[in-house]
Amino acid sequence: MAESSLPRDSRKGKTLIIPEVHPEDLVEKVPLSARILNEKLPKGYRAPLIGEYDGSKDPEDHLRKFKNASLLHQYSDAIKCRVFLNTLSGLALKWFDGLPQGSITCFLDFKMAFLRRFASSKKYQKMDHCLFALKQGLTEPLRSYINRFNQVAQDVPTATSEILMSAFSHGLGEGEFFRDLIKNPARNFDEMVEKVACYIKVEEAQTARRKAERPPPSVNKPERRMPQPPPQPLPCA
């Protein structure tokens, strides 16, 4: 190219060098493949209300929520990738931006890479012995005990109905409900929970009745002290 054809700075008379622009430089580099980016969103698309994932919680919990939302809205594989990306934030979004360009070609790639990266945030899965370690307190109500038991049972997905029944009975205090379970054992854990609900009603009704029958505390007035006479001088010897 001749020097006369190059653009010049009118103020300084110097030749301006314009960098060459390639078409591929105009496209933003992202980890998603071209097939995923080119598929159109379905009509009436609505983002799933499952919350955002920032890398601090269990990744499998977030994937389960997203799976249910995908079944509800019937997302295609490519749309799954773009919708799932929209649920990431914070550290998780920063991780996604650092992936190689075009490395995610399907949702399975996205899922496996996501689980590998945030495996350290996975919730520890408790074993059956954690259930048998629970004990009902001496004065603890049934409602409090069953709530604590269910809280731990949620983290033991491998526990069967028989294990739940055995562990719950093992930690139960020797009261009226314990004796009823010995006389009339439940067939499964759901039936045992129904029995617990009936006894909770009776137990709370008895507690309310005892409180109603309890006499009000008496107000003790301070005793009125009689004034003491002044001390008399000792007689002289």
Range 108-114 average pLDDT: 95
pLDDT of 97 over the 90 cut: yes
pLDDT 10s digits, 159-182: 899 999 999 999 998 888 888 888
- What residue spans of 128-230 are helical by DSSP H? 129-132, 142-153, 161-171, 176-183, 189-213
Q: Is the pTM of this model over 0.75?
A: no
Which of 22-26, 102-106, 133-137, 185-189 comes out lowest in average pLDDT? 22-26
Q: Scan for tokens 């854990």, then name that residue.
A: 189
Terminal Cα distance for the chain, rounded: 139
Residue pair 192/182 in contact (Cβ under 8 Å)? The answer is: no
C-beta neighbour count of 150 within 10 angstroms: 12
Distance CA 237, CA 229 (A): 24
| Spatial CA neighbour of 50 closest among 8, 19, 80 | 80
Q: What is the pLDDT of residue 65?
A: 94
What structural domains and CATH numbers belong to the chain?
27-121 (no CATH), 129-212 (1.10.1200)
